Structure 1
Amino acid sequence: MAFKNLLSSRDRNSNDLRSEEEELFRRCSIDSYLATGLRFLESARRPPLEDYILRRNNLAKALVAEGVDAFVVEPGYTFSYYANITQSEWEPWEPEERPFVMIIRPETLPDGKIVANTSFLVPHFEETRARLLNMPFREDLHTVTYEEHWNFYTTLYQSEIWGDTLSPIIMVDEELRDFIQRGLASNGFTVVGLAGEVEVVRQVKTEREIGILKAVNTGTAEAIRAMRSCLYQDVRERVVAEVLDDTMRAAGLEPFFNIVEFGKSAALPHGGYDGTRKLKPGMFVLIDVGAHLYGYSSDICRTFFPPFTPNPPPSTTHNMTEQLDVWQLVLDAQTAAVKAMVAKGTAAAVDIAARDVIEAAGYGDYFTHRLGHSIGIKAHESPYLNKGNFGAVLRPGMVFTAEPGVYVLDKFGVRHEDVLVVRENGDAENISGGFAKSPWDP
């Protein structure tokens, strides 16, 4: 049922109307979303134990390729990628002054196979708590424990896990805090930063990961479309953000950021206004939103007209011609980027392909950010698609956003963002439910 029809049979005072409008808007959006059947969820399956074992074994092989003795990480996104750290019923295990780190070392079996050998440096009084995290290991956890008055790093250095290695070379994750890196480096370890094949392990997604990313990103795009069909005149940006979040939750997605901008607000790519601007006919709506499913992220942006803006629009509408031209220009730039998103291409080439289209139209100064980024359990992952990143070579299974934009200060902004996976041959595959078709069909 169209939103306007939900209100037509009632006569209310203005205060009651406003609150009921918002509730009816929320119900309309959720119902429209559920009416899709949520088929996009069918591609998502929670990673099993075997997937985490494979990830750690792939990491072990990469460590050997880089000539590194171990990889060290503390709780965060990377820790979750390799060990699915969960603790939903207790206080979350956040990084604190007592280091809790995972150490993954390569081990060569008699048949030549390289596998991961994993240990955890943990305070002695927290050892049982660490074992109760239900991390995905077949074997019992191996821990190196320390008392609080000990030197944590010497304790790790003197443990038996290093064998005869005198100065272990350890690669530290980018999320490992500086004081731990310095502590390791000053107590016998040679510390190197994340790089090479070790970094690539997380960058190349498996088909199971791609299935989850497809579900959460398609589901996010569908939520935007469902919500759009229920928009009404004078609704405020903050209300749209709240309703969109509730809509995504109806499918089991968990929103974690939401940028909603009307009209000239959208000239600031990541917002900055207070969310009180009211929606009027002829205004572009720019929405950039992300949610999680099984720990994986979506990141979708759409720019569109509300359903009460006529198609075609009145010729007298302010700025309408330029808005329509720029909307198509940004879509053309995105198309060019997708064509350049091929295996063995560079991250820079993808950005430049889109940037050339926008610059040729005279709007180069208004495309003010990089083209995109990789995406996985973290919304922004490496490699990054910017015009200077010639060192990053695309591989099949890498997943990226393509999000060109044009932002005309004090007038309007346009951004289209989809999520794509690099394939062995041909164009990158859209895994966010298809590209926008028009300002009235995002």
Structure 2
Amino acid sequence: MIKNRIKDVRFVPYGTLSSGDIYEQTTVVLREIADEFDLIGKKIGYEASFETIAPPMNSAEPTIPAQRTAAMIKAVFQGPDLLDATGILNALRAIKSPYDIAQLQIVHEIAESGLAVFVDMLKRGVREIDISSAVEAEIARYGFGYKGMQHVRAWAQLMTGKRSSQAYSPFPASSVKEVQQGDMAVLELAVVADGYWADLTRTRAVGSATNEQLNAYRAIMEAQGKIRPLLREENTGAAVDAAGRQIIAGAGYASGFIHLTGHGLGFKYHEPVPMLHPESCDVLQAGMVTSVEPGIYRAGEWGIRVEENVVITKDEPLYLSTFSTDLI
């Protein structure tokens, strides 16, 4: 996946009659590595503290290493207790290489094909689920083979009308609700192409918007503008979050901005570094990729969010999507 970083890849046979037990085959490969690099008895770290994983190519059945895998690693290397290297791995993943960034640009180009379908189909009387499924289908149709991509999948989650006020929830989902005139429609879109992820949100008004909704939207876009010049090296996640949050609070919507401003992404839908959060001590570095997603929600009424994905560079930030953020 990270072609310019990988120096040595070992494969384990799986799924055929001649493959044998997957743990036995993996043990053979690990023993080869242990002998080759003189690792017997040495300290061995592995990712022990993950709580979520990025779906593999067979996303219907993710494989999650657990106790049996840890026992296998410990038995092979015969060292002291295994060390949790999750923090080190997260820090390494946070800095994307030029190759990684080029791949991320491709997945965002694919994602934009789905956003175009969302805008085109968003009309009164059309069901949320019909729009979101069409978005996912278009991304698969457009994405497979696009600039060499071989595995493409999307998760489109559309919430309209009163449901949009819950679009910040951890598990938003499209429904059979029909779109109505005057609805706010929030589309949360995750796209993965050959292991690289986009995470974009666009909000559109169906037909018209109230003055309050327009004011909230303007505050969100002003917050996006205030944040943009701060997306550079040495600034902290807390400083970036504060800049956008100040704009939204000044517009009278402090209580409506109830989530963080952004999170890392790229190798996963959500990565822990960097976090744009009021308490974040993360320092931005060139190569980091973060979402920027200020939002405002009126409980039981409506929600509005605009989410961009941005690469931190030594100079100006690189926005990975140029798709319209217009509300109407």
Matches within 5 A, 1:348-427: 348-383=238-273, 384-390=275-281, 392-426=282-316
Partner of 2:142: 251
Shift of 1:410: 0.6
| In structure 1, distance between residues paired with 2:225 and 2:154 | 28
**Aligned counterpart, 1:168:** 42
5 Å-filtered alignment, 1:3-402, equals 52=3, 54-56=4-6, 83=9, 91=15, 99=23, 122-123=26-27, 143-144=30-31, 160-161=35-36, 163=38, 167-173=41-47, 174-175=49-50, 177=65, 179=67, 180-181=69-70, 188-194=79-85, 198-252=89-143, 254-268=152-166, 269-270=168-169, 275-306=175-206, 309=207, 320-383=210-273, 384-390=275-281, 392-402=282-292
CA distance in 2, matches of 1:86, 1:327: 51
Deviations 1:160-200 (A, max 9, x none): 3564x774222222448452447767953243323666533
The residue type paired with residue 157 of structure 2 is: I
The residue type equivalent to 1:122 in the other structure is: T
**Cα distance in structure 1, aligned partners of 2:99 and 2:174:** 39
CA separation of 1:325 and 1:83: change in aligned 2, threshold 3 A? farther
Cα separation, partners in 2 of 1:234 and 1:85, compared to 1, 3 Å: farther
Distance 1:431-1:162 versus aligned 2 partners, 3 A rule: closer
Does the residue aligned with 1:356 lie in a helix, a strand or coil? helix
Decide whether aligned partners of structure 1 residues 409 and 402 sit closer, same or farther in structure 2, where only a CA change above 3 A counts.
same
Question: Residues of 2 paired with 1:256 and 1:434: CA distance?
Answer: 17
In 2: Cα distance, 1:280 partner to 1:84 partner? 54
1:431 corresponds to which residue? Answer: 320
Structure 2 vs 1, CA of residues 379 and 272 (structure 1 numbering), >3 Å: closer, same or farther?
closer
% same residue: 21
Letter in 2 for 1:264: K
Give the match's secondary structure for 2:252: coil
Task: Say whether the 8 Å CA contact 2:108–2:198 is kept in structure 1.
Answer: yes
1:218 aligned counterpart, secondary structure = helix
Distance 1:393 1:189 in 2: 33
Deviations for 1:281-336, whole angstroms, at most 9, x for unmatched residues?
Answer: 11111101112222211111000123xx15xx6xxxxxx11111111111222222
Deviation at 1:280, TM superposition (A): 1.3
Counterpart residue type for residue 259 of structure 2: H
TM-score under structure 2 length normalisation:
0.78
2:200 and 2:11 map into 1 onto residues whose CA distance is: 27
Alpha-carbon distance, 1:337 to partner? 2.5
TM-score by length of 1: 0.60
Change (3 A) 1:350 1:228: same
For this pair of structures, how many residues does the alignment match? Answer: 297
Q: 1:255 aligns to what SS in structure 2?
A: strand
SS at match of 1:292: strand
Match of 1:298, SS? strand
**In structure 2, C-alpha distance between the alignment counterparts of 1:224 and 1:434, rounded to whole Å:** 8
What amino acid does structure 1 have at the position aligned with 2:198? S
Cα distance, 1:369 vs structure 2: 1.7
Does the aligned pair in 2 maintain the 1:167–1:190 contact within 8 Å? no
Partner of 2:82, secondary structure, is strand
Across the aligned residues of Structure 1 and Structure 2, the Cα RMSD in angstroms comes to 3.2
Distance in 2 (alpha carbons) for counterparts of 1:370 and 1:415:
12
Gaps of 5+ in 1: 1-46, 58-81, 101-120, 125-141, 146-155, 314-319
Cα distance in 2 between the residues matched to 1:435 and 1:203 = 27
Deviation at 1:272, TM superposition (A): 5.1
Query: Contact 2:113 / 2:138 at 8 angstroms: preserved in 1?
Result: no
Q: How far apart are residue 201 of structure 1 and its match?
A: 2.5
**Change in 2 beyond 3 A, CA 1:207/1:237:** same
Larger deviation, residues 278-287 vs 191-200: 191-200
